[in-house]
Amino acid sequence: MSQLKLFHPHADTVSPDSAPRIYSISSFRLPVGPADQQVAVTRAQAIHANRTCRECGRTTVVPMEFQDAALNRNLMPIPGTATLVGFACHGCGAEWSLDDSPLDG
C-alpha cells in the first residue's frame, strides 16, 4: 500500500537543486483514542439491546438521534456520530428513551 506524499516548496527557494520537503499523509490524520472507541461500543450495545420493539416484538425499531451529527466535507451528516436519545417502532409507533433501555448482559 502506498502512502500519499505532498510536495510544498518554500516561497523563497528558487533553486531547482534543493531537495523537496515531503509530508506523510499520516501526519494529517486525527488520532482515535480509547474514549472514542468506547463511545462507539456503547452505542452499538444500546442499538443491539433495542433491536426489537417492547410492545409488538417486531424488528422495525429505528434509533432516534439529535441533529448534532458531525458533518463531512460535503456538509452531509456522518452516520453514527449523532447523539442517541431513544428508539421508535415503525410497526406500532411505540417510543422509549435510551435511559429506559436495559443493556444485554
Say which residue the cell 502506498 belongs to: 2
Binning pLDDT at 50, 70 and 90, where does residue 13 land? low
The cell for 27 is 501526519
The DSSP code for 71 is B
Asked if the model's pLDDT at residue 55 lies above 60, the reply is yes
Asked if the model's pLDDT at residue 32 lies above 70, the reply is no
Q: Is the pTM of this model over 0.85?
A: no
Contact 61, 88 (CB under 8 A): yes
